[in-house]
Amino acid sequence: METIQAKVSKRLLSKADRLFTGTLDGRIIEILQNARRAGATEVTITNEKGLVTVRDNGCGIEDFSKLLDLGDSDWDEALEKAEDPAGVGVFCLAPRKVTMSSKGKKIVISKDGWTGKPIQLTKVDDPDKGTVLTFADEPWELSVVKRHAVFSGMKVVVDGKTCPQEPFTSSRAAPHPELGCRIEVRERDHLNHWHNEWREHYYDDTIVVNFHGQVVKSTYYPISESLVFLVDMTGEPTGIRMMLPARTRLIENKAFEALKAAIEKEAYHFIQKRGKHTLPHIPAMARCSHPMF
């Protein structure tokens, strides 16, 4: 019987710089996310003579072969269920020359290495506890990195200067473990500077999701009031997913519909606690659920 099988062509890999987060912001997001998933609490970035060095204190790399196995990774099942990692990893740096060291081992990925040329793994005498990446790129300046680091939960230092760290939601956020998130409702003028940094469209970006440091936006108007819904992912299993590989949009799946239902519920709870509203019409079902109406 004749059979065929899926495979990834070298031609596709040669275009990796355009396929996989081919922007400075995309590269910063992907590398910070990898560090966080590896358990890092601190990331240090330095720019010197056209080279960027990223050093983290995570658990390091056990299997270097997984680095160039497109779509695969060493992440455990719990993380897979919570985050749905794309398996892009260091491919976001293609086709740059990248030097990487971890746990006493080192590799140098050249342009040909991204498309299948064998890469030699060498030992180093002074092993790093985490992972160190060095590659040529435009500067990873503090002004760009900090917006991707502020909600990451990690200490991120760029050329000796520490990025700000802020909680994405407050203690008022309502837990929704069935969705792997907590939701906080705020009026637009009660958002902080960093929330507004991500809201390019003042009236349309009503849902702002913190996916462990990576922020994505969506639009949903459950009621007519000017409210913004902050969704902070908790690391619990979730069906909420982002479009791959760049992960800059939410997928409108069943979990997204459940998220919208939860947001609508929280919107009415918010108005109920506030004790006043400007709603032109309240559905009968909502009136039954919320006595103030």
Phi (first) and psi of residue 139, to 5 degrees: -60, 135
With residue 17 as reference, give the H or E element that holds it: helix 16-19
Query: How much is the CA Rg of the chain, to the nearest whole Å?
Result: 22
Which residues, other chains included, contact 20 with Cβ-Cβ below 8 Å and sequence gap of 6+?
26, 30, 88, 91, 92, 94, 245, 246
Other CB atoms closer than 10 Å to residue 259's CB: what's the count? 27
Q: What is the pLDDT of residues 129-138, one digit of tens each?
A: 799 999 999 9
pLDDT of res. 290: 47
Q: What is the pLDDT of residues 138-190, one digit of tens each?
A: 999 999 999 999 999 999 999 999 999 999 999 999 999 999 999 999 999 89
User: Against a cut of 0.85, is the pTM above it?
Assistant: no
Closest of 199, 148, 143, 110 to residue 27, by C-alpha: 148
Closest of 46, 75, 64 to residue 108, by C-alpha: 64
| Cα atoms found within 13 Å of the Cα of residue 24, Cβ hemisphere only | 13
- Residue ranges, the chain, pLDDT below 50: 3-4, 87, 284-293
Residue 157's DSSP bridge partners are 44, 162
Domain with CATH 3.30.565.10 in the chain: 10-162
pLDDT of res. 116: 76
Q: State which fold the 10-162 domain adopts.
A: Heat Shock Protein 90 (3.30.565)
Closest of 24, 50, 14 to residue 134, by C-alpha: 50
